[in-house]
Amino acid sequence: MTPPIYIALRFLGNRKRAFFLSLGGVVFGVAIFICTQAQTQGFAKTFIDSTLGSNGAITLKARVQTLEGATELPVHPAHRRLFQGIDDASQIMRVSRRFSNVVACSPVLRGTLTARAGFQSATVDLYGIDLALHLQTTNLASQIESGTLDDFRNNPNSLVLGSRLAGLLLVTAGDSVQLLSPDGEYRRFVVAAIARSGVGVVDSVRIYCHAKVAQSLLHKPYSASLIIYKLRDPDRAPALAGRFETLFGHETESWQEREEGNLQLFLTIRLSAAITVSLIILLAGFGIFNVLTMTVLSKVKEIAILRSMGYRRGDISSIFLWQGAMIAGVGSLVGCVAGALLTLAVSYIPIRVRGLIYANHFLVTWDWRHYFWATLLALIAVAIASYVPARRAGLLSPVATLRGTGG
């Protein structure tokens, strides 16, 4: 007997126009799904990489004291007292480095001041850092867009400004900036470098200075108010943060907790795009359903002849299932190629984003899972669309069908 797959090809060949329309729907749906997921995940990944490169994967902050009467674990915030400052930062970092997931850590003395340059002023977030440790822990070295870190390293009265803050104060590398200390006196500094992290909230307010200078400006009795950590596997940050809080008795925060609101926003956008584009693939499935149904109706006589030749119901059904499988397979393959080309083209489209993140073009990411899920959705949609016509074809009675056509 002639194999069902060969008969399926012959049936498709007789309805080329309908076949190409169905194929086009699958190709379009798969390609758009891949492209939209690459875009939405690209923006999210850029934000995550930028915030990890500026704020670390874990932040260890205030010392925690549990109040009497607190018996539940974890301790409710109402039963805790927080004491600002880290007195034993060196010891905590020495112990922290023994954990395999910790790459580096850096102490930071943080405070809020007012910066002034000419007639411009702004409230700033001052980060007093140990430059060597901070460069190991963050991406500050790669964020410098003007000036040099050597000037910052060699001059204690120098600063590194966020790019958007520098634009607000109308200063460039080499200009002077005054910082207002809590006692009401302005202290003059030179701008050694300007950094762009890519995170709007960082670039808009952050100033880096030397740790001892920050301690003098802020009049703090302690040398660090937080420790930031770089991890080998940032996804495991919540578990390690919990261990650090128990071990050191300090409040800790993972980057997932710190950026929960923004992560939920990106996730919502990705899901919304996925659902919307999935409807396109579903519509392509309806098109395939119509094509196969019409094929069954137009091939009633041929089906009856095949049944009379010894083809079983399963063989007849497999003919139409093979048609759906060929449309799904070819459509998914071509759709994946088209999706990759479309993603590449979109990545060159210029845009200007200056909000949550910084971007001059569409940000995309290349992930095999986009292609997997697009192909899986297409296969499921086509399988569902092919099942009913295939089952109907298999249930046709050869005797009744031949009598009907012969009359």
**Residue 350's Cα: distance from chain center in Å?**
20
DSSP assignment, residue 108? E
Residues 6+ apart with CB under 8 A from 24: none
| Among candidate residues 197, 224, 251, the one where a domain is terminated | 224
Span 158-194, pLDDT tens digits: 999 999 999 999 999 989 999 988 778 888 999 999 9
**Whether residue 220 sits in one domain with residue 331:** no
CA separation for the pair 263, 69 (Å, rounded): 36
Q: Are residues 384 and 274 in the same domain?
A: yes
User: For residue 19, is pLDDT > 90?
Assistant: no
Domain annotation covers residue 347: yes
Pair 198, 271 in one domain: no
Non-local (6+) Cβ contacts of 380 within 8 A are: none
Residue 62 lies in a domain: no
User: What is the pLDDT at residue 402?
Assistant: 53
Can you tell me which residue has the tokens 């409230």? 123
Tens digits of per-residue pLDDT, 74-98?
Answer: 554 555 677 788 888 899 999 999 9
270 shares a domain with 371: yes
What are 236-271's pLDDT values in tens digits?
999 999 999 889 888 899 999 998 888 888 888 888
Q: Which of 195, 224, 253 is the last residue of a domain?
A: 224
Q: Write down the pLDDT at residue 281.
A: 77
Contact assessment for residue 332 and residue 378, using Cβ atoms and an 8 Å cutoff: yes
User: For residue 71, what pLDDT is reported?
Assistant: 46
Tokens of 187: 């202290």
Same structural domain, 206 and 110: yes
Same domain, 368 and 318: yes
How far apart (Å, rounded) are the C-alpha atoms in residues 184 and 407?
105
Residue 258 CA to residue 59 CA, distance in Å, equals: 9
Same domain, 217 and 90: yes
Same domain, 218 and 266: no
Is 405 domain-assigned?
Answer: no
Residues of the domain holding 177: 85-224
Find out whether 86 and 107 touch, Cβ atoms under 8 Å.
yes
- Looking up tokens 């119509």 gives 290
Distance CA 80, CA 242 (A): 16
Q: How many domains does the chain have?
A: 2
Query: Residue 107 — pLDDT band, cuts 50, 70, 90?
Result: very high
The reported pLDDT for the residue numbered 73 is 43
Q: Of 224, 251, 282, which residue is a domain's last?
A: 224
In the structure, how many helices (H) and strands (E) does the chain have?
A: 16, 13
191 token code pair:
């701008």
Same domain, 338 and 219: no
For residue 141, tell me if it sits in a domain: yes
Q: Is residue 327 part of a domain?
A: yes
DSSP one-letter code for 236: G
pLDDT of residue 313: 62
